[in-house]
Amino acid sequence: MIRTQISMTEEQAAALRRLSTVRHRSQAALLREALDELLEADGRLERVERARRAIGAFHSGAANTSEDHDTVLDDAFLS
């Protein structure tokens, strides 16, 4: 593992100490878990943004795709 040093407010430090005591986990373990959750959430946001950028980028050639999407998809997959 890589060691690093962070700065936090007195309130954050006190809350982290309390949480560490209640959960019987080290402060470092709690911070690593929080960082993992943050990075996972950021990855989800990036996937959502990529998906949103694709909206409207492709053309099916059918004028009724938004209304009859199930039929259009059936036709595309069965053709």
Rounded mean pLDDT, 50-60: 78
Tens digit of each residue's pLDDT (9 = 90 or more) over 18-49: 999 999 999 999 999 999 999 888 888 788 88
12/6 Cα distance (integer angstroms)? 12
Q: What is the pTM assigned to this prediction?
A: 0.57
Mean pLDDT of the chain: 88
Distance from C-alpha of 79 to C-alpha of 63, rounded to nearest angstrom: 18
